Amino acid sequence: MNMPQHPRSPHHVGEATTVVMVSLDRIRVLNPRARNKQVFAKLVENISSLGLKRPITVTPSSDQDNTGFFELVCGQGRYEAFCALGEREIPCVVVSAGETDRFLISLVENLARRKHTNKDLLYSIQILSDRGYTTKQISMKTSLDPTYINAILLLLRQGEERLIAAVEKGWLPISLATMVARSSDTEVQIAMVEAYETGVLKGEQLIKVRRLIDRRRFLGKHYGQKRSTTEQPTTPQKLLSTYQTEVRRQQVMLKKADINEQRVLIIVTAMRRLLADDYFCTLLRSENIADMPKSLADRINGEG
């Protein structure tokens, strides 16, 4: 049965402007996605109590043997929820779209979701690239900087799951991630020193990046990946490289120790002056602050 006219959406390709009821057994899901069971259960409960808020998007089947059938473009979760509820029909927006357009519609819908992950976007970028889209074209479609797109494609093609995860969480700069992906272990160590000296990495962030690089070297680029137990023979070059790497690591530690020592001296000097002020000492007593860390007290008293 036909339903009232549905306004044309900028996310839809084609000329369809009507919502129609389509039998569930006439819809094919050509590229199904695995779903979180708890999230899906909430979706089913929501549709059961409130009804369907938005129709799914389908396109007529391109297979001549399936005339009268439709291929799902967007709304797999809503479609499966209707199936789980025992419904026979579901409201649909029918669009006329080729394979490329169907993918773009699905991508736009996914980006418009309230809860979407960066991982969805990253792998959608890879799919667009695999389909022949240039970096400039992908940039125009996603509103992302071409340099960022090139960097992400490099990480994806090299299978750098650990680096990508760190970039997603926001504590590893994309420029440093691509440098690590392109560089040898020795070059990575040099870059870490430079990143510290220039202030790109600081404090806890430097420690997290160091741990990430160590895990990547010993456990591999992928999560759950097992490194080969066959070790290469030790050579003088390998020993020299290991020695140089350790020297650079200790240089970074010394630089951090120097900076922390300077900060402690500033604190000790400031506390000495404050404790010499009678008003400040009276304020401490009124606030019932009668002690301080022993290591700090020893430094203030000239000990340690």
pLDDT for 243-261, tens place per residue? 777 788 888 888 888 888 8
What is the predicted pLDDT for the residue at 12? Answer: 44
Please give the residue range of the domain that contains residue 10: 1-115
Flag whether 258 is in a domain. Answer: yes
From 79-93, 228-242, 281-295, the region with the lowest mean pLDDT = 228-242
pTM of model > 0.75: no
From 11-15, 51-55, 247-251, the region with the lowest mean pLDDT = 11-15
What is the predicted pLDDT for the residue at 161? Answer: 77
What are the tokens at 166? 């760190």
Identify the band that residue 1 occupies on the pLDDT scale cut at 50, 70 and 90.
very low
8 Å CB contact between 58 and 92: yes
Higher pLDDT: 53 or 4? It is 53
Q: pLDDT at residue 120 above 80?
A: no
Domain boundary among 86, 115, 144: 115
Flag whether 148 is in a domain. Answer: no
Going 90 to 96 to 102 to 104, the CA torsion angle's sign is negative
8 Å CB contact between 105 and 13: yes
Sheet holding 2-5, edge to edge: 2-5, 18-23, 89-94, 56-60, 70-74, 27-28
Q: pLDDT at residue 90 above 90?
A: yes
- The tens digit of pLDDT for each residue in 36-51 reads 788 788 889 888 887 8
Flag whether 83 is in a domain. Answer: yes
What is the predicted pLDDT for the residue at 22? Answer: 92
- The backbone torsions φ and ψ at residue 34, rounded to the nearest 5 degrees and listed phi first, read -75, 145
Identify the band that residue 81 occupies on the pLDDT scale cut at 50, 70 and 90.
very high
Flag whether 51 is in a domain. Answer: yes
| Number of domains into which the chain is organized | 2
Identify the burial level of 44 via C-beta atoms within 10 angstroms of its C-beta, where 0-12 means exposed, 13-18 middle and 19 or more buried. middle
Flag whether 277 is in a domain. Answer: yes
* 167-179 b/e (C-beta count within 10 Å ≥ 16 → b): beeeebbbebbbb
Q: How far apart are CA 197 and CA 194, in angstroms?
A: 5
CATH of the domain at 15: 3.90.1530.10
Domain boundary among 94, 115, 136: 115
Q: pLDDT at residue 10 above 70?
A: no
Three-state SS string over the chain comes to CEEEECCCCCCCCCCCCEEEEEEHHHEECCCCCCCCHHHHHHHHHHHHHHCCCCCEEEEECCCHHHCCCEEEEECHHHHHHHHHCCCCEEEEEECCCCHHHHHHHHHHHHHHCCCCCHHHHHHHHHHHHHCCCCHHHHHHHHCCCHHHHHHHHHHHHCCCHHHHHHHHHCCCCHHHHHHHHHCCHHHHHHHHHHHHHCCCCCHHHHHHHHHHHHHHHHHCCCCCCCCCCCCCCCCHHHHHHHHHHHHHHHHHHHHHHHHHHHHHHHHHHHHHHHHCCHHHHHHHHHCCCCCCCHHHHHHHCCCC
What residues does 56 pair with on adjacent strands? 92
Domain boundary among 115, 146, 164: 115
Identify the band that residue 235 occupies on the pLDDT scale cut at 50, 70 and 90.
low
Flag whether 230 is in a domain. Answer: no
Flag whether 73 is in a domain. Answer: yes
- The tens digit of pLDDT for each residue in 155-197 reads 888 777 778 777 777 777 777 778 777 777 777 767 777 776 7
What is the predicted pLDDT for the residue at 79? Answer: 92
Q: How far apart are CA 300 and CA 296, in angstroms?
A: 6
Flag whether 136 is in a domain. Answer: no
Residue with tokens 């020695």: 243
Q: How far apart are CA 212 and CA 226, in angstroms?
A: 16
